[in-house]
Amino acid sequence: MKWLALLLAACCMAPAWAARTPFQARCEDSISKTISVLNVRQNGYSIDTSQSFRTLGQMHGPDARHPYVLGLTRAESRVAVNVDGPILYDSLSGYECVAPHIEVSLFYVPIIVYVGREFAPGSCAYKEILAHEMRHLNTYFDYLPKVEAVVRAALSRRFEGKPLYAPAGQAKALLAHEIDTGWIPYIKAELAKVETLQAAIDSPAEYERLSKVCQGEVQLILHSATTKSRP
C-alpha cells in the first residue's frame, strides 16, 4: 500500500516531540479512542426472465467467454465511508488532534439474476442455468464478509487506536483526503477481486457441461431460437 506510506509521511502524524507533552497526554487520555466500524449489508436478489439470451450477451459485453450467454448475474458493489471525531487544539504548538471515528459500509445493490427467456421456468434447462447463476450469487454473498475482515485489519494497523495530529485546522481535511484518495480506492480494489472467483466458475468445462445437460435441451432451444431469427 504505497499510497498509505506516503500519507503517513505527509499528514496526520504526531509532532516530533521527544517526550509526551501535556497536549499529547490530554489528547490520548481525555478524548475517545479511534473507532473503526464496518457494516456489511446483503440486500437480496431477484430473478429476471424477461431478456433473451442475445440481450444477455450484449449486457455481458465483449469479454463473454462463450458465444451464448444463457444466464447472467449482475452485482454492483458500493462503499460508503463516514468520518467524524472530536478535535482538541493546542495554542502553544499550533497543532490539533483528532480521534477518528470511521464508519465503513460495504454492500451490493439488490443483485439481479437473469435467465434467458427462451428457457421456461421449471424446465430442466432453466433449473440447470439457474443453479449455475446461484453459484455466482453465493460467491458474491460469501466474499463480502472476507473483504470486511481484510479492511478491518488494515484500518486497525493504520490508526492503532490513537489520535492523529496535524497543524491547526487541517486534521479533518487531511483525514478526509486520505479516505478519498487512499482508502476508498483500496476497498474498491479488494471488492473487485471477487471477479477472479467468478471467472473460475465460467470455465470451459462448465460451459461444455451446460451445453449437454437435460439430454441436449439447451442446444435444441438455442438452435430453434437461432433458426427462427434467420431471414
pLDDT at 19 over 80: no
CB 117 within 8 A of CB 71: no
The upper half-sphere exposure of residue 50, i.e. CA atoms within 13 Å in the direction of its Cβ, equals 4
Range with the poorest average pLDDT among 25-29, 101-105, 178-182: 25-29
Residue 225: its pLDDT value, please?
73
Q: What is the pLDDT of residue 4?
A: 41
pTM (2 decimals)?
0.81
- Residue scoring higher pLDDT (14 or 159): 159
* Stretch among 61-65, 108-112, 189-193 having the lowest mean pLDDT: 61-65
Closest CA to 109 of 136, 142, 76: 76
What is the model's pLDDT at position 36?
83
User: Which residues partner with 89 through β-bridges?
Assistant: 96
- Longest Cα–Cα distance of the chain, Å, equals 85
Strand partners for 97: 88, 165
- Whether 2 shows a pLDDT value over 60: the answer reads no
DSSP, residue by residue, the chain: -HHHHHHHHHSSPPP--SS--HHHHHHHHHSPPPEEEEEEE---EEEE--S-HHHHHHHH-TT-SSS---EEEE--EEEEEEEE--EEEETTTTEEEE--EEEEEEEEPPEEEEE-TTS-TTSHHHHHHHHHHHHHHHHHHHHHHHHHHHHHHHHHHHHTT--EEEETT-HHHHHHHHIIIIIHHHHHHHHHTHHHHHHHHT-HHHHHHHHHHHHHHHHHHHHHHHHHT--
CA atoms within 13 A of residue 97's CA, in its CB half-sphere: 26
Query: Please, what is the average pLDDT of the chain?
Result: 86
